[in-house]
Amino acid sequence: MNRITRKGATVEAAITAALQQLNMTRDEVEIEIVDSGKKGFLGFGAREAEVAVTVKETEKPKIPETEEKKEAPIPEIEQKESEKSAEPSEEVSESIEGKSKHPDSSDEQAINETKAYVTAIAEGMGIKDLVINHEVDGKYLSFQLESEKAAFLIGKRGQTLNALQQLAQLIANKYAGQFKVVRLDVGDYRERREQSLEQFAERMADQAVRSGRKVQLEPMPSYERKVIHNALSNRLDIETHSEGTDPNRYLVIEPIN
């Protein structure tokens, strides 16, 4: 924790000096009066007041939950994979795209293999009613998952769905003739998640501007960071950038003074 001591003619003067140096408000610090000071008599025996100010420890802002239903525990394989971002990094994408494919590979085979793989994982989670529809748009393969146990497929903050999407990405590109970007969705979860992220981004940007200090968000997948980047791209009073390394890479919102 950051802790400083300051002196002043009065306790209030010492506190004000400390807050100005820290660029914080009273709500963000803990104040300890070390010495109340003494006025003295006719200038003799006077002593300045002294305070110790400690910055309170705060957690990074939490991204709001999108799925309100009871979330299912993530199977062991998903717990390991959910730490990865839902989309491959640029380095991974280039590596996959550059690999030679089996001469008999095709989009149809990639789609069928991906559906079979996702279905097998769902069955291992106890989901027997999974229905998968797909759409193809150039290099993009979109799979829509439907089940009575939708919450199990989504998981906490979409972790299970993100893990499935990461695995589906690898399976599809194992059989596809050209590099494919895979997108998995359950109902309208992705759309609702993006709306929640956009609203959250605006609140955090406003907070950064009010406080005059940068706001660090919790780690999130690359595509979610991109949603927030895009949501705030037109604002002239803040700027955004990512820091850290995956799977703990996070986004920073910083006010422009």
Read out DSSP for 238-251? Answer: EEEEEES-TTS-EE
11 has a pLDDT exceeding 90: no
162 has a pLDDT exceeding 80: yes
Which residue shows structure tokens 């990074």? 60
pLDDT tens-digit series, residues 222-237:
889 999 999 999 999 9
- Residues with Cβ within 8 Å of 250's Cβ and at least 6 positions away in sequence, in order, are 60, 216, 217, 218, 219, 220, 225, 242, 243, 244
Given the candidates 3.40.50.1370, 3.40.50.300, 3.30.300.20, 3.90.1300.10, the CATH classification of the domain at 76-187 is: 3.30.300.20
pLDDT tens-digit series, residues 84-137:
433 444 333 433 343 434 444 468 999 999 999 999 999 999 999 999 999 999
Q: What one-letter code names the amino acid at 1?
A: M
Given the candidates 1.20.1370.20, 3.30.1370.50, 3.50.50.60, 3.20.20.140, the CATH classification of the domain at 191-255 is: 3.30.1370.50
pLDDT tens-digit series, residues 164-209:
999 999 999 999 989 999 999 998 899 999 999 999 999 999 999 9
User: What is the model's pLDDT at position 212?
Assistant: 92
The structure tokens listed for 123 are 């069955």
Domain chopping of the chain, boundaries: 3-55, 76-187, 191-255
pTM: 0.56
